[in-house]
Amino acid sequence: MTVISFDDIRSFIERAFVDQDQAVAPWHRQEPAFASDISAANDAEGFAELVLRQHWANFCLWHVEDRARRKDAGPELIADCKYAIDKLNQERNDLIERLDLFLVRAIDPLLPPLAEGERPRFNTESLGVALDRGSILALKTFHMLEQVERQGAGDDLTSECRRKLVVLEEQRSDLLLAITDLLEDYASGRKRPKVYYQFKMYNDPRLNPELYSRKSGI
């Protein structure tokens, strides 16, 4: 991996938030084209690609979940949506882990050593998970703005959505500040980054009893 500083990492995160915001509207008009290989992501552009791939998984999830809530949909459509949701959730979580792995590898060499007898301290949420939350908030903000601007929605609903939009924008701004604070904790040695693996079991036919028991005829 290219040598990366804490200033670089802050820039990566800030760019990620901007890219998440700016991608949503164009993606409603045309699907993105991603590089075929992300295994070698080891610089700013590789990280940005991972961010947008993870954001795209959330984008697709948002619209499949909307479709799954249709009251006029038949069981076949609902089943297709369920399979798509499972697949997208797996991709989403895999990419969160890829983001964390990139960031941990970048940050580890920059960390001051622990004092003798000092135990490492960790955060309840990883940077990858925080970026996932930023992605979801970007989607919520875009779609809430759509409702604010929707013709015929009625004054009460428009006002309600406008109030919610302000809250969503504030929450996303707060999230970016919290990430910056966490990076400061890493830089000072107060906390250490770590990859937290989800180990999703439901899609694995070796681990989901509803799948392996039927395969073996139990």
Confidence (pLDDT) at 215 = 63
Confidence (pLDDT) at 105 = 93
Confidence (pLDDT) at 44 = 84
Q: 């990139």: which residue's tokens?
A: 102
Domain annotation covers residue 217 = no
Domain annotation covers residue 213 = no
Confidence (pLDDT) at 76 = 86
Burial of 143 (0-12, 13-18, 19+ CB in 10 A): middle
Confidence (pLDDT) at 157 = 94
The number of domains in the chain is 1
Confidence (pLDDT) at 147 = 95
Confidence (pLDDT) at 79 = 87
Distance CA 4, CA 102 (A): 11
Confidence (pLDDT) at 35 = 76
Domain annotation covers residue 99 = yes
Domain annotation covers residue 81 = yes
Domain annotation covers residue 218 = no
Confidence (pLDDT) at 211 = 78
Domain annotation covers residue 117 = yes
pTM across the whole model: 0.91
Q: Calculate the CA dihedral of residues 63, 101, 122, 127 and round it to 10 degrees.
A: -40
Distance CA 130, CA 134 (A): 6
Confidence (pLDDT) at 202 = 84
Domain that holds residue 153: 6-206
**Residue stretches of the chain with pLDDT short of 70:** 1, 36-40, 214-218
Domain annotation covers residue 127 = yes
Domain annotation covers residue 156 = yes
pLDDT digits (tens, 9 = 90+) for 8-27: 999 999 999 999 999 999 99
Letter string b/e over residues 31-63, b meaning 16 or more CB atoms within 10 A of that residue's CB: eeeeeeeeeebebeebbebbbbbbbbbbbbbbe
